[in-house]
Amino acid sequence: MKFAIMVSEGPYTHQATDSAYQFAKAAIAKGHEVTRVFFYHDGVNNGTRLTVPPQDDRNIVNRWSEIATQNNIDLVICIAAAQRRGLLDENEAKRQGKDANNIAPGFRISGLGQLVEAGIQSDRLVVFGD
């Protein structure tokens, strides 16, 4: 079965991110495919490379990057939600006249069309968060 996932909560403020990650990991372990994870609203904060959790805590951003690399999962951050929260990739930073970017490896910025496409191309779209 093909799954797409949407995460709409931040990495350290709500259980939704951890639940989404564990769901993806379990689905893959059972032989299913996770094609795309779309980060929306505060969920875009899962994609910042500037997160520095304490050493004894989980690094949620790194977890997403690793699972995506190992399993060819497309990690998409909503562009409108990202811009509102100060997340920019290299191209968008340049376009907006900013001197830095902060998107973690494995993530990319795109629009809501990617969420719609994921819903169409997958057997199930599973939503985590409000």
Which residues are annotated as catalytic?
Answer: 78
Helices then strands, each counted (H, E), the chain = 5, 5
Q: Report helix, strand or coil for 80.
A: helix
Q: Which residues pair with 2 in a beta bridge?
A: 33
Distance, CA of 55 to CA of 103 (rounded, Å): 21
- Cα torsion angle, 106, 114, 27, 82, sign: positive
Q: Report helix, strand or coil for 68.
A: helix
